Amino acid sequence: MSELLQQIINGLALGSIYALIALGYTMVYGVLRFINFAHSDVLMLGAFAAFYLAPVLAPTLGAESIPLAFAVIVLSAAICACIGMLIEFLAYRPLRSRPRLTVLITAIGVSLFLEFAGQHEKVFGAATKPFPALLPNADAGFGALHISSNDLVVLVLTAVLLGVLWFIVQKTKLGMAMRAVSFNEQAAALMGVNVNRIISFTFGLGSALAAVAGIFYAMRAPGIEPLMGVQPGLRAFIAAVLGGIGNLPGAALGGLLLGVLETVFGGIPSVSNYRDGIAFAILILILLFRPAGLLGKTQIEKV
């Protein structure tokens, strides 16, 4: 029993990261109706931004300290927000009026570009780099249950970020504009909403969350390399679909659920080698039986 509890704790920490990434996917899908394949690589960029920033800031702020962690996270998120907005402006905005499939393929192209350019020696190089410790890591468990302080930080910060996001989306004018655009773009434009700006903002926000997720991911597994975003990105996407794509609480729920399921199943000896496939099986089951996701609403197609 305590083993199961331990697995659930393990899974929640992993799931929080998936939730943060899934939110980005779902927000972009909400306003643009398209899946941003390059999202997973923004995660990677966030981790690398932190990698380069940490040693620069450590002398002034103190190595492995809260100010350092805070500064690195905020700065990396800001950098990635800009990168996300840049990608939207250069690669997706010109295709706004095109069929969805065209943009999807462009997104795949951007993703591949970020990954392979990153692998080039002059950029990041293909080798795994050791991620610096931003906070001192200690065992914060009790009794037979172990949880590292890093995992605890991830859980707490994710909850905080979810709360902030909820606040922005539900209680601010910007958030209302976002919801308007995702509901009906043309009507929103007619009501005076600057659609381009809202879309940019959405990308920026999603990318910032992805960057934070990337840093959290690197804190738990301190080896970063240009392809590191692929697997978590895919899982987070599945989480977004699981919760109902376009639905923010759904994405968060989906992320946590997927993290726990993956961890619990991964711990079962005969099933652990299928761990890759489990996430995809969940995806297919959801899309077959409840395509709108756990919290989504079914959409009726009008003729």
Residues in contact with other proteins, total (CB under 8 A)? 80
Q: Which is nearer to other proteins, 131 or 201 (CB)?
A: 131
Q: Which of residues 76-95 bind other proteins (CB under 8 A)?
A: 91, 94-95
Task: Transcribe 145-179 into DSSP letters.
Answer: B--BHHHHHHHHHHHHHHHHHHHHHHHSHHHHHHH
Residue 143 interacting with other proteins (CB under 8 A): no
Judged by DSSP in three states, 223 sits in strand
213, 214, 220, 222: CA torsion to nearest 10: -170
Residue 260 identity (one-letter amino acid)? V
Q: Which residues fall within 8 angstroms of residue 163, CB to CB, at 6 or more apart?
A: none
Contact pattern from residue 258 through residue 297 relative to other proteins, giving x for each residue in contact according to CB under 8 A and a dash for the rest: ----xxxxxxxx--xxxxxx--xx-xx--xx--x------
Q: Judged by CB under 8 A, does residue 130 bind other proteins?
A: yes
Interface with other proteins by CB under 8 A: which range of 110-118, 175-183, 193-201, 203-211?
A: 110-118
64 counts as binding other proteins under rule CB under 8 A: no
Closer to other proteins by Cβ: residue 249 or 267: 267
Q: Which is nearer to other proteins, 48 or 237 (CB)?
A: 237
Rank residues 98 and 171 by Cβ distance to other proteins and give the closer one.
98
* Window 220-259: residues binding other proteins (CB under 8 A): 220-223, 225, 227-228, 231-232, 237-238, 241
The answer to whether 212 and 257 have CB atoms below 8 angstroms apart is no
Complex with other proteins: residue 175 or 296, whichever CB lies closer: 296
Range in contact with other proteins (rule: CB under 8 A) among 49-57, 61-69, 130-138, 205-213 = 130-138
Using an 8 Å Cβ cutoff, are 283 and 241 in contact? yes
Q: How many CB atoms lie within 10 A of CB 2?
A: 9
Rg (CA), the chain: 19
Nearer to other proteins by Cβ, of 168 and 287: the residue is 287
Under the binding rule (CB under 8 A), the answer on residue 26 touching other proteins is no
Specify whether the CB–CB gap between 298 and 292 falls below 8 A: yes
Amino acid identity of residue 246, one-letter, is G
